[in-house]
Amino acid sequence: MTKLALLALALFAPLAAQAQHHGHHGHAAPAATASADSAKGMAEGTVRRVDAARGTVSIAHGPIAHMNMPPMTMNFNAAEGVDLSTLKTGDKIRFEASDQGGKLMLHGFEAAN
């Protein structure tokens, strides 16, 4: 290879690798994406208390990275359409949560393995 070809390879190879990584990263994104005004993400926890009548659930959870929240026990309000009637104390769940103006919202949940 000529010196010019080696220089071009040295300059553009990192950009090409970054572009490939960025494209690959998009394939790993979850099927459901969060809206811009309510950044949501999955976390894991154990149900401590359910008040289906009030639409609240207390969850002892691990870190919630997208909310910069360390492990703790917090109360979440069920978002519209979320049915808490199937939850009971002690259930281990994966859940989707967000902070909407200081109000913690539960957008969905599923049984954790």
Among 11-15, 19-23, 48-52, 93-97, the range scoring the smallest mean pLDDT is 19-23
Domain boundaries, the chain: 41-111
pTM for the predicted model, two decimal places: 0.64
Instruction: Detail the DSSP E strand segments found in the chain.
Output: 41-51, 56-61, 72-78, 92-100, 103-111
Half-sphere exposure at residue 55, Cβ-oriented, CA atoms within 13 angstroms: 12
Instruction: From the options 1.10.150.120, 3.10.150.10, 2.40.50.320, 3.30.565.60, give the CATH code of 41-111.
Output: 2.40.50.320
| 33-91 residue pLDDT tens | 333 333 456 899 999 999 999 999 999 999 999 999 999 999 999 999 999 999 999 99
d(CA 99, CA 83): 19
User: What is the pLDDT, as a whole number, of residue 113?
Assistant: 78
d(CA 12, CA 7): 9
User: What is the pLDDT, as a whole number, of residue 41?
Assistant: 66
